[in-house]
A = this chain, B = another copy of it.
Amino acid sequence: MTGVVFRRLSALKPLSPAQTQCIEALGERIETVAPGATLRSEGDGPRRPSFILSGWACRQRLLPDGRRQIFSLLIPGDAVGFCAEPSPITSASTVALTKVVVATAESLLGGMSAAGAYPTGGQDLPGFADHMRLSAYLEDGLLLDHIVRLGRQTAFERTAHLLLELNWRTALIGRADERGFNMPLTQEVLADFLGLSIVHVNRTLQQLRRERLIEMSGPQVVLLDAAQLTAIADYQPPALNKAS
């Protein structure tokens, strides 16, 4: 179960044996969250950070009249709640979209603690600060991509872009191959992420299928022509430079 975390983090920067061992130990502190449940709500105080071992979640905000905007989709291997603030400056809640298994991971917090304190108790902590920092940059980049999608791309381009992003991210954790990847999202979730109506998401997906760019059977998605999709969406995968 902790393999996804290993793959996710080692893609950012190589992991030492001590770190690898530390990640394997994550499997010992597991919690299961039901679909729809809140992993972390808006005004939460300091909360133990964790990794998603299985299932999908999202960060979102609700408007008073019920409109919802999803900021990011969280897949296995992704971190939750690593913002070390006592109370977050801006409100967003993290919600499970499927059944989710998380591993609590305060032990990885070395160098991430609040008030900028450098590791005090355990100098021998395997130092995940670099990984978490790189991970934060990666997420930040995904947010910028999202802003471009919402601000300047058509429904067709947006949807193609998202599918390419999810294909890249699932591949990173070893969950995508030539037979595609698994996307356990309803069209309502896609709509709230892409800033579209459910109906229009439905029609856009149909168009992608009609033009033989993708294939879908249930939650399984196959990108039939990744090159053309990439051109349509102006997609550029994140540039991970492990040399860092």
Residues of chain A whose beta carbon lies under 8 Å from any beta carbon of chain B: 61, 63-64, 67-69, 71, 83, 85-92, 111, 114-116, 118, 127, 129-130, 133-134, 137-138, 140-148, 150-153, 194-195, 234, 236, 238-241, 243-244
Once A116-B111, A118-B118, A244-B114 are accepted as A-B contacts, the answer to whether A148 and B63 lie under 8 Å apart by CB is yes
Cβ contacts under 8 Å, A90 to chain B: 137-138, 140-142, 144-145, 238-239
Cβ contacts under 8 Å, A240 to chain B: 89
- State the CA gap A195–B151 with chains docked (Å): 4
- State the CA gap A138–B85 with chains docked (Å): 11
Contact B130 A115 (CB under 8 A): yes
Cβ contacts under 8 Å, A146 to chain B: 147
Contact B89 A239 (CB under 8 A): yes
Contact A83 B137 (CB under 8 A): yes
Cβ-closest chain B residue relative to A148: B69
Contact B150 A151 (CB under 8 A): yes
- State the CA gap A86–B241 with chains docked (Å): 9
Q: Offer 19 A-B interface pairs, CB within 8 angstroms, sorted by A.
A: A61-B144, A61-B148, A69-B148, A83-B137, A85-B244, A88-B137, A88-B141, A89-B134, A90-B137, A90-B145, A91-B236, A111-B116, A115-B130, A116-B127, A118-B118, A140-B140, A150-B151, A150-B195, A151-B195
- State the CA gap A150–B234 with chains docked (Å): 19
A13 to nearest B CB, angstroms? 9
Contact B67 A152 (CB under 8 A): yes
Contact A238 B89 (CB under 8 A): yes
Cβ contacts under 8 Å, A63 to chain B: 148, 152-153, 234
Cβ-closest chain B residue relative to A231: B64
Cβ contacts under 8 Å, A244 to chain B: 85-86, 114-115
Q: B88, B152, B238: which contacts A195 (Cβ < 8 A)? A: B152
Q: B148, B152, B153, B239: which contacts A87 (Cβ < 8 A)? A: B239
